[in-house]
Structures are given as structure tokens and as C-alpha cells.
């Protein structure tokens, strides 16, 4: 009696190789998604930081007096005002007296300027907030 060797792939061999290939493709797709998502998040955050720095520089160049209202604590403009030229970014500029509630500091001379830039990422509101201290020019 002669035993014949069978050459070729069986159904189990093919099934196992398809499952392994599916697992690798899924892992690679998840990695690509995470890299793209993270790079988009970094891109949006850097844009928001750039906008916040520009707004603080604009306040410095205009002078604090242009941003002060009737009180010492003032929210400039409309809260969450859309940033022109950047769709989906909103700004809030707050000028606050640095001496507010502190003893031994002369009031209405030094101001804290806070710029808050908000944007949406993956259905959640993200914010970048920068502050600086400025003095009024006499």
C-alpha cells in the first residue's frame, strides 16, 4: 500500500492566515487613526496658542486703556467671540485689576490680561488660556 502525500493548503490553514491578516490590518488601521487624530489635535492646539499670543500682542500694542470699560474687571467684547480668519475658534479677553483683593498693591495701575481661545475637537470643547501682566502708561 502506497501512502500518498497531499500537497496544498487545507481549509484550516487558510482560515488561520485570514484571521491573522485581519488582526494585523486592524492594528495598523488603529495606529494610523491615532497618529492622524493626535496630529490634528496638536495642529489645532498650536493654532489656538498662536491666536492667543497674537491677541495678547494686540492688547499690548493698543494699550490697556482701549480695552477697559467702566469697571476694573472687564470682559472685552463678547464672550466667545469668533476669531476672524479662523473658523471654529472663539476668543474671550479679560482685563482684570492685578490688585483685586490684594493688600499693599496700588489698584488700577497693573492689569492682568487673560486671553482664552476655545475650539471643538472630537465633540469636546478644548481651550488654551494665556495671561500676562501689563501696566498702564501714564
In this prediction, residue 48 carries a pLDDT of: 95
Q: What is the pLDDT of residues 29-85, one digit of tens each?
A: 999 999 999 999 999 999 999 999 999 998 888 877 777 665 555 656 557 788 888
Higher-confidence position of 105 and 34: 34
The 3-state secondary structure of 95-131 reads EEECCCCCCCCCCCCEEEEEEEEEEEECCEEEEEEEE
Per-residue pLDDT at 10 exceeds 70? yes
Which residues, 6 or more positions from 134, have their beta carbon under 8 angstroms from its beta carbon?
59, 60, 64, 110, 111, 112, 113
Per-residue pLDDT at 4 exceeds 70? no
Per-residue pLDDT at 102 exceeds 70? no
Distance, in Å, from the CA atom of 15 to the CA atom of 23, rounded to the nearest integer, reads 12
In this prediction, residue 81 carries a pLDDT of: 83
In this prediction, residue 78 carries a pLDDT of: 57
Per-residue pLDDT at 109 exceeds 90? no
The residue ranges of every structural domain in the chain are: 11-135
DSSP labels, 61-74: HH-GGGT--SSSSE
Amino acid at each position: 500500500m502506497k501512502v500518498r502525500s497531499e500537497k496544498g493548503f487545507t481549509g484550516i490553514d487558510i482560515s488561520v492566515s485570514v484571521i491573522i491578516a485581519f488582526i494585523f490590518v486592524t492594528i495598523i488601521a488603529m495606529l494610523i487613526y491615532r497618529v492622524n487624530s493626535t496630529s490634528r489635535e496638536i495642529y489645532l492646539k498650536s493654532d489656538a496658542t498662536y491666536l492667543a499670543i497674537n491677541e495678547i500682542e494686540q492688547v499690548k500694542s493698543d494699550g490697556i486703556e482701549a480695552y477697559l470699560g467702566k469697571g476694573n474687571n472687564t470682559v472685552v467684547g463678547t464672550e466667545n467671540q469668533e476669531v476672524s480668519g479662523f473658523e471654529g475658534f472663539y476668543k474671550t479677553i479679560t482685563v482684570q485689576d492685578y490688585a483685586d483683593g490684594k493688600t499693599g498693591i496700588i489698584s488700577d495701575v497693573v492689569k492682568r490680561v487673560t486671553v482664552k481661545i476655545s475650539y471643538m475637537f472630537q465633540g469636546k470643547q478644548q481651550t488654551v488660556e494665556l495671561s500676562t501682566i501689563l501696566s498702564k502708561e501714564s
